[in-house]
Every structure is written in structure tokens, then in C-alpha cells.
Copies of this chain bind each other. A is one copy, B any other.
Amino acid sequence: MKKLDESLLTNLPPFRKLDRSQIRQILDAATPVRINAGDAFFDQGDTAEKFFLLLDGHIRVVKMTPDGEQVIALHIASGQLFGIAAGLGKATYPATSVAADECLALYWPNVMWDRFVATYDGFATETYKVVGERLDEMNKRIVEMATQQVEQRVACVLLRLINQAGRKVPDGIEIDFPITRQNISDMTGTTLHTVSRLLSAWEKSGIVASKRSKVTVTEPHQLVLLSGATG
């Protein structure tokens, strides 16, 4: 196995305060994994034995209900830690991590978690900051689901996605990974039919453009208006 390049980690929040030799140590302890779109790094309920860092690609964090329905709790973009059950005192992963596109990640065994926290200055702080942000995001979703109509929720989700995984293209901002109407409905607690109708309508008004599994927002501002300005 060839050595991983140190530049992979240098600029990521959890490792920002570390020097080259520390990063070297961390990398030498890491195992790389690559998975295809649609596959999972781990499943909900699996014993949590490792924690991960996503280097490339996008992950959908999916929860399954007992009766088979699924809900997408959030997305993870490259550069972020995930599967950190270890850090939160959990024995099993609370959700499944499905690759939205081809993904490359590193992982470490859980025993390293405490070591990282103890040894590397800033690792704990930066990490729990990320946890705080996820808490916030989930909070916002709860509020949205509780107070807003479907149209606004879908608008919010698209805005959030272009913020987290948007790529500038000539005619607007494109969501940088494959995403279906069904996916969007799993994020908003609605049906693919309703999402389809909404996107069709928005496409007619020139707010979005979409192909199969691909969405581009052409008029973000219009979408903000539709979203009820909650973000």
C-alpha cells in the first residue's frame, strides 16, 4: 500500500492545528476504502468499530423505518468525519451511510478515537464543533418539517444542497452529485410525485433546470423567496 499524501489532511478542520509529523502518524494509522455509488460504508445497527473521514464523494445518511420507508437525515461532503459513533458513546451506527457517487474515505479503529482526542490539540474541539453544526442542521429540519409546507421544505432542501455541495456551472449552481426526485422526497417527507410536480413548475418558471438525477438551480434568489426565508 503506497503512502498517503499529507496534503490530504492538512487543511481539514479536525487536523488544522497539527504539524507534518503528527499528520504523518495519523495517515500511517489510516486505512483507505473506496466504494461505488449506491453502496454503503456501514449499515444502521452495525457494531461501530471504526470512524471515517470522507476524502472524496458524497454520502447520504439514511435512516430506515421498521416498515421499510427511508429518510435521508443529512448529506456529508468530502473533508468531513462521519461514522463517529465512537465519539458519542454509541455502540452501533445509528444510520446507514450510502455513497451518492463514488466515494473515497479513510478509516481508523475506534481505539484511535480517544488517542486522537488526547494527543492532538484541537481535534476534539473541531470535531465537536462539527457535531454542533449537525445538531443545528437537524434542528432546522425539525422546525421546517413542523411549520412549513411541502413547497417551502423542498426549496429549503435544494438551497441547503447547493450550499453544501454546489458547483458553479454556466447556467447556475448545480448539485454536485446524482440526486433523484425520490431522494428529494426522502429528505422532505413527501412523495416523489409532489417533488416532480414542484420541479416541473419551477422549471417552467426558469428557477431550476433538471435532467435525470441532476438538478441545477438557475435562480437561487427566487428559490429563497419560495423557501420562506428560513434557509
Contact = CB atoms under 8 A, between A and B. Distances in A.
A89 B129 contact: yes
Binding site secondary structure of chain A:
helix
A132 B69 contact: no
A129 B63 CA distance: 20
Nearest to A145: B145
A7 to B, nearest CB: 25
A45 interface: no
Interface string A110-152: 0000000100000011101101101110110111011100000
A63 B135 contact: no
A139 B189 contact: no
A66 interface: yes
B146 A189 contact: yes
Contact of A138 (B66, B90, B138, B188): B138
Contacts of A186: 146
Contacts of A142: 63, 71, 73, 138, 141-142, 145
A230 interface: yes
Interface string A62-83: 0101110101010000000000
The number of times this chain is found in the oligomer is 2
Interface in A10-35: none
Contacts of A90: 132, 136
A66 B146 contact: no
- A interface bracket (residues with beta carbon within 8 Å of B): 35 or more
Interface string A93-125: 011000000000000000000000100000011
Contacts of A143: 63, 65, 71, 73
Contacts of A85: 132
A1 interface: no
A141 B139 CA distance: 10
A89 B128 contact: yes
A87 interface: yes
Given A63-B139, A136-B94, A128 B71 contact: no
